[in-house]
């Protein structure tokens, strides 16, 4: 997987920014605060999610309210391009993955293609920075350094080692075999102490049983005394009740003897009924006198009133009903006169607006004429506007033409001659060929030297073989001559001579590649030098190509500008002719409308509208004058007829006060008629009331006589005396009934009350004193027993409320549960520790040998062959020097340790390549390297296979990388 480009909608200081990366290695250069770290954080956020509150990282949301997030274009391993977009939404943002076929996937699809790696693991494995390298320089022990390197080369992060150390630390805090402070050790000691306290508290149970038996016996005696005391108390309370009721019983018995007579009767509510009838009789006599006097007054008033006939009233009312119509006609007449005056003033104002002194009836002011004038003026305005546009465009084209000519002159001044340009191309070609041949010469020289050494070895072996064969042939020939085998001896002697000759003849043929390449290089250098001396070649070919393109483009622009200028001149002349024709039409319209030549074009349409208004107002004035004459005739005829009819009823009638006098006469006439009718109704009503009041007076006198007859009274005094005797009897009877009811409520019937009334007060007091002495004796005995029982109960309650034993047992169970929980935690930690150790061992056994083997090659390259091997044996990382000496990482220099760390990290990335094909991010990790080491490091990165993508962030630009592999971030001004 590779990152093709990123598009930032809004993130940190970046807004609407797009950056494209090379698919192998890209150098992202920028000064401090140019946004390098922001760009790295953006890549991490889009792939793995925006930082949340739990992470110690800034979210870098844009401050100006732009959309938060962006898009990253990825090239997958199958060369498919997908766009990953993440914008603000949920805590880690909302993700959409756009596939080439138009489908849209979610974050689960992205995690699956990232092989479920998280941001922390990605940073620990694929991201390098200067802080990671500087961690090696901290004061680490030998074990700490070994763990750090193993994490870099095998585990990829510090999580597993840190987890193992944390688990071990927590286990030590929970339990130590001979410790006292760990929690499990302290809980075991606490359980032993609680067991001892529980045994001591159990001995107090026997004394508790003895106290309970003694308290039960005393409680039985106390209950018997209490029962006897309750009986005495009941008798005592009954005696107190008799003493309290003795006085009421005596009064009850006396009332019984007084009421033993014949009952006295009296009419129900007799006094109230008598007094009400007496009062009503007096009031009725007074009301009858007042109504008779009122009857006489109303008869005298009716004799003074006079009412006109109905015919006269109808005539006057008919005149009054016409008041609204007559006044409306008068108002209409007044309004018509005002309208005539207003229309006259308006006609004069309109004539003054257009400069008319009289009304021209023959002038055409129709809508057709108005539309014609509007069209002519609109055409004139449009032509005038177009004329001005043509003039402005012509001026702009002239200025633009001059600018193009000036720019063309400047470009021609910067242009070199064609001969120099062609020689520059030759110079570039020769320089490129020279550099390639130099590089080729160096590589071929190394190859030829190796080949020559191999040939020299083969030549030496062949010479040795010939010498051995010559010696063998010589020995065989000598043996043949000695044994008289001359023929064989001669053959082997000749062979021996041939082998000796071959020893000196065999030579390595030297190839003169050095001389040929040296001559070619020298010839190319002389040609390049000659071109530099003969021509001024201090310019860039790309700039000259661009200049020539710009000159050609400016020449084309000049030709196009000249054609446009000619066409605009023709259009300007046509527009001027049309403008002159429109002026003539407007002048003709002014003459037809009798308007001044000084009137502006903008007012001509309004002038036509004004002329139309003058004609309309003139016609309206004639109509108003005819209406005024008709209204005057109607009003004169009405007033003459009305004055003639009212002369006999109303004196001094005129047109101004006619309706007022009619209203006043009608009001007075109606008032008199209503008064007469009202008085007549009152007379009838008073006659009926007097008859009704006399009937009521007779009824009240009959009620008083009936009350006197009920008790046999002769007058009012005897009636009141009988009422007093009746009240005394009723009060005694009510008191007797109350006492009887009271005694029944106190459970005293007739016999019991009669018996109590026979006793004297002295007898009751003697019986009360005797009962009181008995109760006091029983109270003392009861209090003594109660005190004894209370003391025993207090002792028992103290032993029962003493929760020492129960509390100790409860505490024992709590501590035991806590100990079980701690034991389970310790067992879980032990299980986790075994799992982590097994995982680390599996990684060491499978992955670490591959990492170490790959790291050997990388480390040898980075140290320029000084260290030839990286090993991992007996849980230790070691390096072998080229002299065969083994070194522990602690013994290495700081820079060499940095190279070892880098080699292990890169080798881990290569081993994990089949599982995680992700870009490598390097953030100024080589800022402390010297020039040689940095050059060697950059050469190694460039030599890595093309299926690795490297994003190199730096503030020190590397000139060895071409421009197509570099991205420059400019510092934004705040």
Position 483 scores a pLDDT of 80
Position 904 scores a pLDDT of 80
- The C-alpha atoms of residue 449 and residue 456 are separated, in whole angstroms, by 10
| pLDDT, mean over the chain | 79
For 57-81, how does the pLDDT look when each residue is reduced to its tens digit (9 = 90+)?
888 888 776 788 999 999 998 889 9
- Strand 886-887 to 876-881 pairing: antiparallel
Q: What tokens appear for 447 in the block?
A: 């190859």
For 250-269, how does the pLDDT look when each residue is reduced to its tens digit (9 = 90+)?
777 777 777 776 677 778 77
For 580-637, how does the pLDDT look when each residue is reduced to its tens digit (9 = 90+)?
887 787 777 777 777 777 777 777 777 777 777 877 777 877 888 888 888 888 877 8
If we measure between CA atoms, which residue out of 958, 670, 961, 934 comes closest to residue 130?
Answer: 934
- The C-alpha atoms of residue 108 and residue 126 are separated, in whole angstroms, by 22
Which residues lie across from 872 on neighbouring strands? Answer: 877
Position 845 scores a pLDDT of 64
Q: What tokens appear for 889 in the block?
A: 């990482």
Residue 927 CB-half CA count within 13 A = 17
Residue 254 CB-half CA count within 13 A = 8
Percentage, residues of the chain above pLDDT 90: 4
Neighbouring CB atoms inside 10 A of 323's CB total 14
> Computed over its alpha carbons, how large is the radius of gyration of the chain?
69
Q: What average pLDDT does range 874-889 have in this prediction?
A: 82
For 418-466, how does the pLDDT look when each residue is reduced to its tens digit (9 = 90+)?
788 787 778 778 788 778 777 777 777 777 778 778 888 888 888 888 7
pLDDT category of residue 139 using cuts at 50, 70 and 90: very low
Most confident of 16-20, 495-499, 603-607, 731-735: 16-20
Query: Where are the chain's structural domains?
Result: 1-115+916-973, 342-412+559-629, 417-538
- Strand 867-873 to 876-881 pairing: antiparallel
Answer yes or no: is pLDDT of 55 > 50: yes
H-helix or E-strand containing 801?
Answer: helix 761-801
- The C-alpha atoms of residue 221 and residue 182 are separated, in whole angstroms, by 61
Sheet holding 867-873, edge to edge: 867-873, 876-881, 886-887
Neighbouring CB atoms inside 10 A of 515's CB total 9
- Strand 94-98 to 81-87 pairing: antiparallel
CB 248 within 8 A of CB 739: yes
Most confident of 19-23, 569-573, 719-723: 19-23
Answer yes or no: is pLDDT of 164 > 80: no
If we measure between CA atoms, which residue out of 346, 369, 341, 371 comes closest to residue 359?
Answer: 346
pTM over 0.75: no
Position 21 scores a pLDDT of 92
Q: What tokens appear for 147 in the block?
A: 């763990």
CA distances from 528 to 426, 430, 519, 522 (A): 9, 7, 14, 10
CB 49 within 8 A of CB 93: yes
Position 4 scores a pLDDT of 92
Answer yes or no: is pLDDT of 6 > 90: yes
Position 232 scores a pLDDT of 79
CB 3 within 8 A of CB 951: yes
For 769-786, how does the pLDDT look when each residue is reduced to its tens digit (9 = 90+)?
888 888 888 788 888 888
Q: What average pLDDT does range 685-711 have in this prediction?
A: 82
CB 686 within 8 A of CB 295: yes
| Per-residue b or e along 883-896, where b marks 16 or more CB atoms closer than 10 Å to that residue's CB | eeeeeebeebeebb
Worst-scoring range by mean pLDDT, 520-529, 641-650, 810-819?
641-650
Answer yes or no: is pLDDT of 389 > 80: yes
Long-range interactions of 646-650: CB distance < 8 A, separation 24+: 646/316, 646/319, 649/308, 649/312, 649/316
- Strand 950-954 to 25-30 pairing: parallel
Write the DSSP string, 106-157.
Answer: -HHHHHHHTTT--HHHHHHHHEEEHHHHHGGGS---HHHHHHHHHIIIIISS
Q: Is 49 left (phi over 0), alpha (psi -120 to 50) or beta?
A: left
Answer yes or no: is pLDDT of 729 > 80: no
Neighbouring CB atoms inside 10 A of 126's CB total 21
CA distances from 132 to 312, 439, 927, 972 (A): 128, 37, 12, 28
Worst-scoring range by mean pLDDT, 136-150, 210-224, 549-563, 862-876?
136-150
Position 171 scores a pLDDT of 74
Position 83 scores a pLDDT of 93
Q: What average pLDDT does range 754-765 have in this prediction?
A: 78
Q: What tokens appear for 214 in the block?
A: 């003694």
Kindly tell me the sign of the dihedral angle through the C-alpha atoms of 710, 713, 716, 718: negative
CB-based contacts of 434, cutoff 8 Å, min separation 6: 521, 524, 525, 528
Answer yes or no: is pLDDT of 805 > 50: yes
- The C-alpha atoms of residue 206 and residue 460 are separated, in whole angstroms, by 116
Q: What average pLDDT does range 484-503 have in this prediction?
A: 80
CB 773 within 8 A of CB 236: no
If we measure between CA atoms, which residue out of 719, 718, 730, 721 comes closest to residue 277?
Answer: 719
CB-based contacts of 20, cutoff 8 Å, min separation 6: 4, 5, 967
pLDDT category of residue 509 using cuts at 50, 70 and 90: low
pLDDT category of residue 511 using cuts at 50, 70 and 90: very low
For 291-329, how does the pLDDT look when each residue is reduced to its tens digit (9 = 90+)?
888 888 877 877 777 677 777 777 777 777 877 888 788
Q: What average pLDDT does range 39-50 have in this prediction?
A: 90
Q: Is 81 left (phi over 0), alpha (psi -120 to 50) or beta?
A: beta
Which is the CATH superfamily of the domain at 1-115+916-973?
P-loop containing nucleotide triphosphate hydrolases (3.40.50.300)
């Amino acid at each position: 997987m590779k990152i093709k480009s990123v598009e930032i909608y809004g993130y940190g200081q970046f807004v609407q920014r797009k950056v494209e990366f090379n698919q192998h290695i890209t150098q992202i250069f920028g000064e401090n605060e140019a946004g390098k770290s922001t760009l790295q954080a953006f890549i991490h956020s889009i792939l793995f999610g925006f930082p949340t509150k739990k992470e110690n990282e800034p979210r870098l949301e844009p401050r100006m309210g732009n959309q938060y997030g962006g898009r990253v274009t990825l090239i997958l391993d199958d060369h498919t391009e997908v766009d990953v977009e993440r914008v603000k939404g949920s805590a880690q943002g909302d993700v959409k993955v756009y596939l080439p076929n138009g489908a849209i996937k979610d974050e689960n699809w992205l995690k699956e293609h990232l092989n479920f790696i998280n941001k922390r693991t990605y940073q620990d494995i694929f991201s390098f920075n200067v802080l990671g390298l500087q961690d090696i320089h901290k004061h680490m022990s030998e074990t700490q350094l070994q763990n750090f390197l193993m994490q870099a080369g095998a585990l990829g992060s510090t999580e597993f080692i840190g987890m193992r150390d944390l688990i071990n630390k927590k286990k030590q805090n929970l339990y130590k075999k001979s410790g006292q402070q760990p929690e499990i050790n302290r809980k075991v000691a606490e359980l032993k102490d609680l067991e001892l306290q529980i045994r001591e508290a159990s001995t107090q149970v026997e004394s508790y049983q003895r106290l309970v038996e003694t308290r039960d016996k005393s409680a039985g005696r106390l209950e018997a005394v209490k029962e006897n005391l309750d009986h005495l108390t009941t008798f005592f309370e009954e005696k107190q009740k008799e003493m309290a009721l003795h006085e009421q019983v005596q009064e009850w018995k006396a009332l019984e003897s007084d009421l033993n007579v014949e009952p006295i009767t009296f009419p129900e509510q007799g006094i109230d009924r008598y007094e009400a009838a007496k009062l009503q009789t007096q009031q009725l006599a007074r009301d009858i006198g007042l109504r008779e006097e009122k009857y006489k007054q109303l008869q005298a008033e009716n004799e003074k009133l006079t009412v006109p006939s109905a015919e006269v009233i109808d005539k006057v009312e008919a005149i009054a009903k016409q008041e609204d119509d007559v006044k409306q006609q008068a108002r209409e007449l007044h309004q018509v006169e005002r309208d005539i005056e207003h229309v006259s003033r308006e006609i004069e104002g309109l004539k003054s607006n257009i400069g008319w002194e009289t009304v021209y009836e023959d002038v055409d002011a129709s809508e057709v004429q108005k539309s014609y004038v509007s069209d002519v003026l609109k055409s004139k305005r449009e032509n005038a506007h177009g004329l001005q546009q043509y003039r402005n465009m012509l001026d702009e084209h002239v200025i633009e033409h001059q600018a193009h000519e000036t720019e063309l002159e400047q470009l021609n001044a910067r242009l070199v001659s064609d001969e120099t340009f062609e020689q520059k191309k030759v110079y570039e070609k020769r320089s490129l060929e020279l550099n390639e041949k130099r590089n080729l010469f160096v590589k071929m020289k190394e190859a030829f030297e190796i080949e020559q050494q191999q040939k020299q070895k083969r030549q030496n072996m062949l010479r040795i073989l010939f010498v051995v064969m010559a010696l063998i042939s010589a020995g065989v020939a000598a043996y043949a001559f000695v044994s008289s085998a001359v023929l064989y001896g001669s053959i082997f002697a000749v062979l021996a001579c041939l082998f000796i000759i071959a020893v000196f003849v065999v030579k390595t043929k030297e190839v003169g590649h050095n001389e040929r390449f040296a001559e070619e290089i020298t010839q190319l250098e002389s040609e390049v030098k000659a071109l530099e001396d003969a021509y001024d070649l201090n310019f860039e070919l790309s700039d000259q190509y661009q200049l020539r393109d710009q000159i050609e483009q400016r020449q084309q622009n000049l030709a196009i500008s000249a054609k446009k200028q000619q066409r605009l001149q023709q259009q300007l002349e046509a527009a001027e002719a049309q403008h002159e024709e429109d002026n003539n039409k407007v002048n003709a319209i002014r003459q037809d409308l009798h308007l001044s030549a000084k009137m502006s074009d903008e007012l001509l349409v309004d002038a036509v509208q004004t002329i139309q208004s003058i004609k309309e107002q003139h016609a309206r004035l004639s109509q108003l004058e005819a209406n005024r004459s008709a209204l005057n005739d109607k009003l004169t005829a009405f007033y003459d007829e009305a004055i003639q009819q009212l002369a006999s009823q109303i004196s001094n009638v005129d047109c101004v006060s006619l309706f007022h006098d009619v209203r006043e006469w009608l009001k007075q006439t109606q008032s008199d008629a209503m008064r007469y009718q009202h008085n007549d109704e009152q007379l009838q009503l008073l006659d009926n009331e007097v008859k009704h009041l006399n009937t009521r007076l007779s009824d009240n006198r009959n009620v008083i006589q009936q009350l006197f007859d009920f008790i046999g009274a002769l007058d009012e005094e005897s009636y009141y005396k009988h009422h007093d005797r009746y009240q005394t009897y009723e009060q005694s009877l009510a008191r007797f009934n109350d006492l009887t009811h009271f005694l029944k409520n106190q459970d005293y019937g007739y016999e019991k009350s009669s018996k109590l009334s026979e006793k004297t007060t002295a007898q009751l007091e003697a019986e009360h004193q005797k009962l009181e002495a008995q109760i006091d004796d029983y109270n003392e005995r009861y209090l003594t027993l109660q005190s004894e029982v209370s003391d025993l109960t207090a002792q028992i309650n103290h032993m029962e409320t003493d929760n020492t034993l129960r509390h100790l047992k409860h505490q024992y169970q709590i501590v035991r549960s806590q100990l079980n929980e701690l034991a389970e935690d310790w067992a879980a930690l032990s299980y986790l520790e075994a799992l982590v150790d097994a995982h680390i061992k599996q990684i060491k056994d499978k992955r670490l040998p591959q990492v170490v083997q790959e790291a050997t090659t990388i480390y040898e390259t980075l140290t320029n062959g000084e260290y030839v091997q990286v090993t991992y044996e007996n849980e230790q990382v070691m390096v072998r020097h080229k002299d065969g000496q083994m070194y522990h990482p602690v013994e290495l220099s700081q820079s060499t340790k940095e190279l070892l760390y880098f080699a292990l990290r890169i080798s881990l990335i290569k081993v994990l390549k089949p599982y995680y094909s992700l870009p490598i991010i390097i953030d100024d990790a080589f800022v402390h390297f010297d020039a040689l080491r940095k050059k060697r490091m950059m050469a190694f990165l460039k030599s890595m296979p093309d299926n690795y993508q490297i994003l190199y962030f730096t503030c020190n630009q590397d000139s060895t990388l071409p421009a197509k592999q570099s991205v420059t971030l400019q510092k934004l001004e705040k």
